[in-house]
């Protein structure tokens, strides 16, 4: 599920998913690398945001804005694969499996759906999830950067735990509508499908796979969304209690 927000917060510089592990903080070299990585990713998603705004101002329409940010979107979304490596080598404590699932689900939507089925690139639903991803990632990577530097502004913390209320449903809606829009073209062309007979006696329907992917959102979305609401109450509620105590 290419969720637009992450389900949990552990340590900065990685997907906030999975169970917390009791590990030592990353060393100075690893911390420096993670700061650089998060700064670069923040800048990359800012480039995408600026590209969207400039294209809209030039065209005066939301239609077809995807083409103005297609290359940086593919580059920086694919760059998130490094977050799986971060978990694998242990410089961040997130689950490798869950991080890999979340990262690759977005990469899948970017390459195996939006890139592969060019007919959907003009759909407004693509812009819906791209905008949600962009705002989410700017906030997320900024949050990680400032956390690593031990200087986290309250505004960024608030945004990290509040904007998902709108952005998560917005992103999920865009993802589902985009996959749905791709179904007729996938069925018509047989994209990525394997039919019988063949020497391996194996068949695969990419059309069916996409439908099952959409169905998987049904149990996953409510769990992640309500978990994030719980996280918001836990983190921001604690901050408010501290302020009242002062």
* Backbone angles phi and psi of 90, in degrees to 5: 90, 15
**Distance (Å, rounded) from C-alpha 31 to C-alpha 26?**
6
Q: Hey, is 150 helix, strand or coil?
A: coil
Active site residues: 168, 175
Q: What DSSP state is assigned to residue 204?
A: B
CA angle 108-111-61, nearest 5°? 115
* Backbone angles phi and psi of 204, in degrees to 5: -150, 130
Give residue for tokens 């992917």: 213
């Amino acid at each position: 599920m290419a969720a637009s927000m992450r389900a949990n917060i552990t340590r900065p510089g990685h997907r906030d998913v999975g169970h917390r592990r009791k590990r030592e903080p990353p060393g100075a070299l690893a911390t420096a690398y993670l700061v650089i990585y998060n700064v670069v990713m923040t800048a990359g998603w800012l480039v995408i945001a600026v590209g969207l705004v400039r294209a809209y101002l030039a065209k005066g329409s939301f239609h077809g804005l995807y083409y103005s940010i297609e290359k940086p979107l593919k580059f920086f979304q694919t760059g998130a694969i490094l977050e799986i490596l971060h978990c694998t080598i242990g410089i961040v404590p997130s689950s490798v499996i869950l991080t890999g699932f979340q990262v690759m689900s977005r990469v899948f939507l970017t390459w195996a759906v939006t890139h592969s089925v060019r007919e959907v690139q003009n759909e407004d639903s693509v812009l819906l999830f791209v905008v949600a991803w962009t705002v989410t990632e700017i906030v997320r990577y900024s949050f990680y950067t400032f956390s690593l530097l031990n200087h986290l502004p309250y505004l960024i913390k608030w945004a990290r735990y509040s904007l998902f209320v709108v952005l998560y449903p917005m992103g999920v809606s865009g993802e589902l509508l985009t996959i749905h829009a791709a179904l007729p073209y996938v069925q018509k062309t047989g994209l990525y499908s394997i039919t019988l007979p063949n020497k391996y006696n194996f068949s695969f329907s990419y059309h069916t796979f996409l439908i099952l992917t959409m169905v998987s959102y049904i149990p996953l979305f409510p769990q992640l969304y309500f978990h994030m609401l719980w996280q918001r109450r836990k983190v921001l509620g604690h901050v408010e209690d501290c302020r009242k105590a002062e």
